[in-house]
Amino acid sequence: MTTEEKNLFLKDWEKELENKSFEDLATILANKDDYAPEFVEMVQQRIRAHGDYSEEKANAIIETAIEERKQNEELAEQRMSGWLMFFMFGLVFGSLSLLFRTYSIATPEYYGYNLPLMWTEITITLGVVVLAGYAFIALYKKWNNAVYLVYTYLGVAVFLNLLSWIQLGSEANIRVLFGGAVAIIWCLYFSNSERIKARYPEEERSFFKRDKYIIGTIIVIPIVLFIWGLNSTPSSPSLSIADGLEAGEIDQTSLIIDEKKLGENEVTDGFTIVTIPQGIKHEIVDIEEGHKMLVLTDEKGNAFYEIRIISGFAESFSSSDFEEYWLQSRDSTMLDDPHELTTNTTSEIKAGKCYRKVEEYQSELTVIWDFSMVFSYKTHKYCLLSAWYNKKDDVPIDDIIDSIKFEQ
């Protein structure tokens, strides 16, 4: 810096200090690290030359200003940081998402009318939401249990992801890995962040007495309901010949269809009655374990399709069971072709509940895979239909599904 530039700065500083009081000058000295050394030296000269100058008075003002500055810095450290606010936003958003998901699936039908299992899902959801809300309030109010509640919430989240992985297998791999990684990152943040340590001092952290009861209730109730659900017989929406009985106790011979009583164009595989539309031929094929498969094809060979129907008996059935059947039945050789899920519905038909998925595969031709399952909660019979056909062909699959009966 040249002498001329330095002189300009000195003139500006002198003008700035011209009307400063003794207290103002002392406050500047208390924060001297924020100013240029030349400016601080000028302030020291001004304060010594001030009419109210007293070394004791100056030191007292300086010490008070330094103490206030420390307190302000501590308060700034304890304020809600951007990352902490982001985490708290995640608590709210995650809770609302979980509530919406549970509301959309927690129906007796989804759980095969196994009400204890349905209430297991509901109580888990309510427990997680309560824990998230409790942690949110504790973080906001700077309670001593705030950080421990966060660790508990993250542990519960990881545990639920692991349960999803056990239930869904590879379908949940990405979600489990992502959820676990996010939980670890947040744990590291709450363990190592200086701002978190300043806002929630480690030496003051502790669980409240009520926390043990709240967390214990959130954990124990779903476990009890889950065990109850595993050992209970699903109820049905209507009177069922199988209610209160286990699969081995049911006389399935009483459920076998009498072929002599079939109506016109009706065929049966023993469990299910299907009305065959005009122009379709059928064949009964024996498969493993005494089951039979009904195969429907075009009678004249003008359309190229095949509809396979397999029936049986089950204690209960749910949407998740249908998803598993669908995944197991997919043709792996077709998955390399571009494909799109065009239908994914659950509906009521005369025979019972119908679950259906339709996929279009683009190869040389547009090939349709039509997969559906009909389940009767009254008779506990099911009927699985898997159909492959060209999109351009007229295949009466809807008429076939609507014609299904489980009783004569």
Quick one: pLDDT at residue 252?
56
Amino acid at 230: L
Nearest 5°: phi and psi at 224?
-60, -45
CATH fold of 248-403, please? Protein Transport Mog1p; Chain A (3.40.1000)
Provide the residue ranges of all domains of the chain, joining segments of one domain with +: 3-78, 82-230, 248-403
Residues β-bridged to residue 267: 274
Burial (CB count within 10 angstroms: exposed 0-12, middle 13-18, buried 19+), residue 273: buried
Question: Which amino acid makes up residue 264?
Answer: E
Amino acid sitting at position 147: V
Query: Which pLDDT does position 401 carry in this prediction?
Result: 93
Tokens of 158: 């990881």
Residue 214's closest CA among 121, 162, 152, 122? 152
DSSP conformation class of 366: E
In percent, the amount of the chain with pLDDT more than 90 equals: 14
Contacts of 42 (CB under 8 A, 6+ apart): 10, 13, 14, 17
- Angle, helices 146-168/209-230, rounded to nearest 10 degrees: 10
Question: Would you tell me how many other CB atoms lie within 10 Å of the CB of residue 144?
Answer: 15
The pLDDT score that the predictor gives to residue 132 is 92
DSSP letter for each residue of 263-304? -TTEEESSS-EEEPPTTEEEEEEE-GGG-EEEEEEESSSSS-
Q: What's the average pLDDT block by block, 10 residues per block, for the chain (408 residues)?
A: 47 64 72 73 71 68 72 57 85 88 75 77 88 91 91 85 60 69 89 85 88 89 84 51 44 70 88 89 80 84 83 79 85 78 87 90 86 86 90 87 89
The rounded distance, in Å, linking the Cα atoms of 166 and 275 is 41
Q: What is the mean pLDDT of the chain?
A: 78
Alpha carbon distances (Å) from 112 to 80, 172, 230, 320, 377 = 46, 22, 12, 9, 9
d(CA 96, CA 99): 5
Query: What SS3 state is found at 315?
Result: coil
What are φ and ψ of residue 330, in 5° steps? -65, 140
**Cα torsion at 115, 121, 125, 131 (round to 10°)?**
100
User: Which of 305, 291, 297, 293 has the alpha carbon at shortest distance from 276?
Assistant: 297
Nearest to 276 by CA among 119, 147, 124, 405: 405
Only one residue has tokens 């399935």, namely 252
